[in-house]
Amino acid sequence: MSITLPTRRDEAWRWADLDTLSAARTTPRAEIGDAADHFLDLDGPRLVFVDGAFDAARSDPRRVRVQAIAAETAHPLGMHAAGTGWSLDLDASEAETCIQIAHLGSGGESHVPATLTLGRDAVASVVESYAGSGWANRLTRIRLAEGARLMRSVRLVQSAGFVSLREEAEIGQAASLVSIFLGAGGMGSRIDGELVVTGDGGFAEMGGALLTRGEQRQECAVAVRHAALDGSSMQLWRAVAADRSAASLAARVEVARGAQKTDGEQSLRGLLLDRTATVNLKPELEIFADDVKCAHGATVGELDRAAMFYLQSRGLPEGVAKALLTRAFVADAIDRIGEEPVRAAFLADAEAWLAEALA
């Protein structure tokens, strides 16, 4: 496929690891592992995509449909995610929880679109896992009608390659979207999001934790736009960077003229495990209404030395003390996941990453 990638001269892409993305496109395909490894023990629909192709034999989609979807977006990567993908359409008051999607890559590039359309007061939850290698490029479009609620938990645990995710959502009146991401693999990543609160009293949340080590680079570039009254939003991101890696968090809150009583919270924090690592933070607020409350904080630091010594003085070896403190830092973000088993699985992934990074 011929794709024109953005370049780092574009302000919005200056931290992007486009070299790793390009390299991942041409890695040869190989055997793929067992998809079952990537499913949690939850009862619900299961879909497996191998190198972007739906694997019917290993899936149980139930009411999730696999079909051709157009890539209706201007996003430079998302626009290439057209073709066969998956869709969930829920009518008013319907519920479909614990949907699990495993994306397994063996090499090369794969592009999969998805749509989630929830009717009035419908409820859904989705867990997505990215494993293997190659370039996984995804576009997810979400529409939530009045009172609908969607919880998305996405973990990026590819051992290599690159994952680029583009999420676009419209959140209706009193509807709620929570999307939490964990980057705890060896791949590069770019998590792109644009959530628009279109109905009064809607809630939009996008956040997560990016853990990087070696020469790895991961980033998010997300925006929440408040276009209605009484909306609230949360963007809580944590970045942990070791070795010579870099994690970058760019998050924007936009409050349109007339979107009074908006409450937008933003918390971006970075933790450097080594002096040679980098965390870039770019918090942005663009407020055109006068009666709004937007709390925001952005900080980068190292592990608290007093806390380190306190833990060590009680008998914890340095590596264990570091892992405990770092885990607590990351848990801030993962605790936003509402479903206990999912939260536990994501925390376990973060712990496994820490055990390796601090070994």
Partner 1 sequence: MLEINNLHAEIAGNAILKGLSLTVNAGEVHAIMGPNGAGKSTLGYVLGGRPGYEVTEGSVSFDGADLLELEPHERAAAGLFLGFQYPVEIPGISNVQFLRESLNAQRKGRGEAPLSGAEFLKLARAQADALGMDHDMLKRPVNVGFSGGEKKRNEMVQMGILSPRLAILDETDSGLDIDALRTVGDGINRILRAPDKAVILITHYQRLLEYVRPDFVHVLADGRITRTGGPELALELEAQGYGALAA
Q: Which is nearer to partner 1, 34 or 304 (CB)?
A: 304
- Is residue 288 at the binding interface for partner 1, with CB under 8 A as the rule? no
Q: Which is nearer to partner 1, 288 or 310 (CB)?
A: 310
Site residues (CB under 8 A) for partner 1, limited to 10-39? none
Q: Where are the alpha helices (DSSP H) in the chain?
A: 18-25, 305-313, 318-334, 340-357
Sketch the per residue contact string, 289 through 328, with partner 1: x for CB under 8 A, - otherwise: ---------------xxxx-xxxxxxxxxx-xx--xx-xx
Residue carrying the six token digits 């794709």:
3
DSSP code of 27? S
Compute the least distance from the CB of residue 322 to partner 1, in Å. Answer: 12
Compute the least distance from the CB of residue 220 to partner 1, in Å. Answer: 21
Q: Which stretch binds partner 1 (CB under 8 A): 96-104, 182-190, 275-283, 329-337?
A: 329-337
Those residues with Cβ within 8 angstroms of residue 265's Cβ, 6 or more apart along the chain or in another chain: 232, 233, 234, 235, 236, 294, 295, 296
Counting residues that bind partner 1 (by CB under 8 A) gives: 23
Cα dihedral value 341, 187, 3, 65, nearest 10: -20
Task: Judge contact between 289 and 262, C-beta under 8 A.
Answer: yes
Compute the least distance from the CB of residue 237 to partner 1, in Å. Answer: 16
Q: Which is nearer to partner 1, 55 or 332 (CB)?
A: 332
Compute the least distance from the CB of residue 210 to partner 1, in Å. Answer: 18
- Is residue 331 at the binding interface for partner 1, with CB under 8 A as the rule? yes
Identity (one letter) of the amino acid at 332?
D
Those residues with Cβ within 8 angstroms of residue 344's Cβ, 6 or more apart along the chain or in another chain: none
Compute the least distance from the CB of residue 332 to partner 1, in Å. Answer: 7
Q: Which has the closest alpha carbon to 193: 170, 169, 227?
A: 169
Site residues (CB under 8 A) for partner 1, limited to 40-79? none
Helix (H, G, I), strand (E, B) or coil at 308: helix
Q: Which is nearer to partner 1, 159 or 299 (CB)?
A: 299
Determine the length of the chain.
359
Q: Which is nearer to partner 1, 287 or 331 (CB)?
A: 331
Compute the least distance from the CB of residue 272 to partner 1, in Å. Answer: 17
Compute the least distance from the CB of residue 331 to partner 1, in Å. Answer: 6
Exactly one of 94, 263, 265, 332 binds partner 1 (CB under 8 A); which one? 332
- Measured between alpha carbons, how far apart are the two ends of the chain, in Å? 41
Q: Which is nearer to partner 1, 9 or 305 (CB)?
A: 305
Q: Which has the closest alpha carbon to 168: 217, 210, 120, 204?
A: 204
Q: Which is nearer to partner 1, 239 or 255 (CB)?
A: 239
Q: Which has the closest alpha carbon to 136: 87, 70, 68, 85?
A: 85
Rounded Cα gap, residues 214 and 235, in angstroms: 27
Compute the least distance from the CB of residue 283 to partner 1, in Å. Answer: 21
Q: Which is nearer to partner 1, 177 or 325 (CB)?
A: 325
Task: Judge contact between 312 and 144, C-beta under 8 A.
Answer: no
For partner 1, the binding residues (CB under 8 A) are 304-307, 309-318, 320-321, 324-325, 327-329, 331-332
